[in-house]
Chains A and B, each alone.
Chain A
Amino acid sequence: MSTGYQIIVCGSVVPDPLQTLEPVAGTGLPALKNEMMLPAVLDPWASHALYEAAHLAQAKPGSKVWLVSLGPKAKLQQVMMTVAQKAPFELVAVDGPAGGFVDAHETAAALAGAIQAIAGLDRGRLLVFGGWESASRGAGATLQIVGERLGIVDQFQGVDQLTVADDGELEILERIEGGQHQVSRCVGPPALLGWATGHLPEPRNNPQIGMTNMRAIMPALQKARPAKVAAEGVVYHRVTLPRQQRETQVVKDRPAGEIAREIVDWIVQG
């Protein structure tokens, strides 16, 4: 393919997984305690999608990658400082809440709108990527709805591998039950892929790419249009943390043989 792909990656920010999270009842939707203060990262599975997109774009000259993010502008800006160093992309920012309690349909509508507003998109070259589930809502629903809104009915979720054949056919491996992959072949774009871990390690920070990216990222953030997304028609009856800590019994200074016996007894008892 001489013209390359147009790869749109949907992904936003989530709280750093090492943070302790606590729900609070907000005026509208539930929220996280100190949500705006929590350090954030790019959603892990969406990050994999971005790395895969950059890798594919590099392999197919003429390709271009966009990262479409709906999140609080200030948080996006923070996170972009690092993400921008990972891979070349153009940011399309939409300013709005990225928390887990927002509804997937509303997020998807805002994302699809932002994608449709990108000038010069060509369906014959279009691949929409994202993480198959977020680390916030964790629903695995947003991308499918984005795809529906864009009229893309070749959709794949839990993708670990995409291979492009010489004739442009896409071979896609999706996670299914029992630790297996379903193998599909799709004639080509437009297609939508929700990525799981993929095969690429996290790229090293490249300050040069970072600098180039940031030149366009800052104006993109300034231009970010506000989106009113919430969860219309949803009543959250309660949000609770799971049962507190277990009473851990720490067994020390016991011979390995005794420990082994205890473990075997535990395993075999019904």
Chain B
Amino acid sequence: MERLLVLAHTEGDGTLGRPALEALNAAAALGGDLTIGLVGEEAQAAANQAARSGAVRFLAAQGPEFAQPRYVTDAAAAEALCRAAQAQVVIAPGTARWARVLPGVSARLDGRVDTHVTAIAVEAGALAVTRWYYRQRMEAVLSRSRRPWFILVDAGVAAPWQGEAGAARVESVDAAIPEIRTTVSGVRAPRSGEQTIRPDADLLFVAGAGWTKKQADGQTHLPEAEKLIAGFLAATGASLGSSKSLVDLAGEGQAVLSFMTHLNQVGQTGSTPRHPKGLAACCHGEEPHVVGWRFINQRRAINLDPNCGWARGKADVVYVADAFEVIARVNALLEERKATSGS
């Protein structure tokens, strides 16, 4: 087996997050000698967390300058760790922090990179990765001869590594940092302050532009739509997705759903979230939208139109019905369940 390095950054509390543990598990499954390279303000806690993962070496670029997710410092840290480990294959979680920087680091080391990887295996004796092309419309399995090969694994494709913490011996690695011209000043939540994107939810609820359209009575019912959707999200803990049409309306200054932004958009030019179940309401199910459902296993839709895209092989069940009416009743039933279960 080749020299493997798992690159992980610590979370705000100094530990390894779930995506890092997933990447670690994916790497450990390949066998061979594994080095873990850590980046963060303080790496000991993270190293201890993975002490029994079978890793033979723990390297760390640590210090206050590595607390912030920022290209210049993260690139320097990752470069130094890869050089110290003489890594041939580098496996890292596809977090926003690593996605920003590791393709650049692969260029610095004259290597190659594959991102959004959904599986790593050995194919015809060679390491091979699986990833999607054309926004989740076709899947390819490929190998590379060039090293170092950076592989960024998408969140949720491997189980997280689990094991007891131990005491790891951490070797500090010096990273040469050029002038720092960027400061990270914080994190901003969506405008409304309401956190509607919940990557860990079991259910994705997608709202489409139909919620804003004139209904059977010739009127639009925006306040009601907003109340129903908010009620549904509160009762189910679902993550909120949107079609492009709906968020574009908001962008054009029309009064739509106050808690909806482009970040909620699912599809070709939106996100491709991972949830076991998805329910779409008032969304037509057109191809550029549905490509974002690639990793939603069970799919149902509520639509007035029996010929909507969902009905044409894109969902498991389509309810031809008025979503206003159905969601109102769903909310009432969930409310009832909550009351009777006493929670």
Contacts and interface: CB of A to CB of B under 8 A. Distances in A.
B279 A263 contact: yes
B219 interface: no
Contacts of B310: 248
A27 interface: no
B326 A135 contact: no
The range of chain A's interface size is: 35 or more
Contact of B182 (A142, A186, A237): A186
Contact of B178 (A153, A232, A238): A153
Nearest to A48: B269
B114 A139 contact: yes
Contacts, number: 272
Contact of B318 (A148, A182, A248): A248
B248 A201 contact: yes
A179 interface: yes
Contacts of B313: 244-248
| Interface SS of A by simple majority | mixed
B189 A180 contact: yes
Interface string A228-248: 000011111111111011111
Given A21-B134, A182-B187, A199-B251, A256 B329 contact: yes
A36 B197 CA distance: 38
Given A252-B306, A266-B277, A259 B319 contact: yes
Nearest to A20: B287
Contact of A182 (B96, B248, B316): B96
B320 interface: yes
B133 A184 contact: no
B103 interface: yes
Interface string B168-201: 0000000000100111111111100001111100
Contact of A155 (B100, B126, B188, B316): B100
B100 A174 contact: yes
B195 to A, nearest CB: 7
Interface of B: 69-72, 75, 95-97, 99-101, 103-104, 106-108, 112-116, 123-124, 126, 128, 132-146, 178, 181-190, 195-199, 203, 236, 248, 251-252, 261-265, 268-269, 277, 279, 286-288, 291, 294, 298-300, 302, 306, 310-322, 325-327, 329-330, 332-334, 337
Interface of A: 14-15, 17-18, 21, 23, 30, 32, 44-45, 100-101, 103-105, 108, 135-142, 144-145, 147-149, 153-158, 160, 173-188, 196-197, 199, 201, 232-242, 244-254, 256-257, 259-261, 263-264, 266-268
